[in-house]
Amino acid sequence: MGKLTRRAVIAGALTMPFAAKAQEWPSGQMKFIVPFPAGGTLDAIARLVQPALQQRLGTTIIIENRAGAAGSIGAAAAAKSPPDGRTWLFVFDTHATNPAMQPMPFDSETDLDPVMLVGTAPNIVACGPSRPYQTLAELIAASKAKSGGLTFASAGTASLGHLTMLQLAKRSGAQWTHVAYKGAAPAVNDAIGGHVDMIIAATTVLNSQIESKMLRPLAQTGAARHPTLSDVPTLVESGYPDLDATPWWGLYAPGKTPTLMIQRFNAEMVAALKEESVAQKLKAMGLTIVASDPAYMRRFYTKQAHVWGQVVRDNGLRAEGG
């Protein structure tokens, strides 16, 4: 056997991390679990990045919609999946409030590993053309004047939209009743049809309906006005300085997924989100891409769960109703 030279030893050491990375990355089909029905924002994000990630990773990615219980059914399925890099979970803001709503069959802090905060977008309070309200102040006044108050639709119990409207009612004295839907699409249809007085949903859901004048925006919930809705005031501007409530979308892996896999998938996801065709479509939806690292996502989730979980508990909300 030939003698190893010092140069050969050094070269071998330098290539070891890359060899380990290649060995650890799984071959074969991957799966995105989307814990909401097809047609929503989370599903749209997953389907937009799917082709780019398939090309970059050299594998097939299937999208599995596992809807129910405000996203907790799909999240539980991901938490129970093998940590082999084949399963990835997209989540919505309800991921942080679900533990305060009901006993969960998993612990998000230990049974799931954060990968990325994908993006954020403000909620919009809007009404259909059959309603007379032109401003948030008119909406609040009308709710006080009408016996029984008004009705508002959201994507579900304990979504940030639902919780924001509860907080707004407490601060303004508004009178309205929540109508919970299993996803944003049916809520939008009923708002346009006049079956509810208003809707609160993200720009990613309502932008196209607002542009086509099917819905009238009255307020938005971010700290500052969103570029796609520069003429719509925020709740902060409207006299509610503590009501900065921004929906978010994130990405997780089953707990104990190898760090190298999470780091690589994060990097490939960042690249996919930056592809011009993907970035333009997400921007048109009203999504602000964050594309964070895993550590940021962990801190972000912990804060969201603390702040909004307390709102859930303060209002006595439970999974069976709003």
**For residue 60, how many other CB atoms are within 10 A of its CB?**
11
- Whether residues 49 and 194 share a domain: the answer is no
- Whether residues 107 and 255 share a domain: the answer is yes
- Whether residues 116 and 128 share a domain: the answer is no
Could you tell me which of 219, 232, 150, 236 has the C-alpha nearest to residue 191? 150
Helix, strand, coil proportions of the chain in percent (round to 5)? 45, 20, 35
pLDDT of res. 5 = 54
**In sequence order, what are the residues at sequence separation of 6 or more whose Cβ sits closer than 8 angstroms to the Cβ of residue 155?**
40, 92, 161, 181, 183, 184, 187, 201, 205
Q: What is the mean pLDDT of residues 34-59?
A: 93
pLDDT of res. 38 = 85
The 10s digit of each residue's pLDDT in 75-85 is 999 999 999 99
Does 58 reside within a domain? yes
Give the domain CATH number at 62.
3.40.190.150
Judged against a pLDDT cut of 60, whether residue 24 lies above it is answered with no
What is the domain count for the chain? 2
- Whether residues 114 and 134 share a domain: the answer is no
pLDDT of res. 26 = 73
Beta strands in the chain (DSSP E): 30-34, 61-65, 87-92, 112-120, 123-127, 150-154, 176-180, 198-202, 216-220, 248-254, 288-289
- Whether residues 127 and 214 share a domain: the answer is yes
Instruction: Quote the percentage of the chain above a pLDDT of 70.
Output: 91
Tokens found for residue 110: 């230990």
- Whether residues 135 and 280 share a domain: the answer is no
- Whether residues 211 and 144 share a domain: the answer is yes
Q: What is the mean pLDDT of residues 120-131?
A: 96
Tokens found for residue 214: 């099917």
Does 240 reside within a domain? no
pLDDT category at 1 given cuts 50, 70, 90 is very low
The 10s digit of each residue's pLDDT in 278-300 is 999 999 889 999 999 999 999 99
- Whether residues 131 and 184 share a domain: the answer is yes
Cβ atoms of 243 and 221 within 8 Å: the answer is yes
The residue among 199, 229, 259 that closes a domain is 229
The SS3 assignment for 147 reads coil
Give the domain CATH number at 194.
3.40.190.10
- Whether residues 127 and 113 share a domain: the answer is no
Does 81 reside within a domain? yes
- Whether residues 52 and 110 share a domain: the answer is yes
Judged against a pLDDT cut of 70, whether residue 18 lies above it is answered with no
pLDDT category at 186 given cuts 50, 70, 90 is confident
Does 11 reside within a domain? no
The 10s digit of each residue's pLDDT in 158-171 is 999 999 999 999 99
Instruction: Quote the percentage of the chain above a pLDDT of 90.
Output: 80
The 10s digit of each residue's pLDDT in 96-108 is 999 999 899 999 9
Does 23 reside within a domain? no
- Whether residues 112 and 135 share a domain: the answer is no
- Whether residues 162 and 113 share a domain: the answer is no
Does 33 reside within a domain? yes
Q: Residue 36's domain spans which residues? A: 28-120+247-314
Does 18 reside within a domain? no
Does 22 reside within a domain? no
pLDDT category at 25 given cuts 50, 70, 90 is low
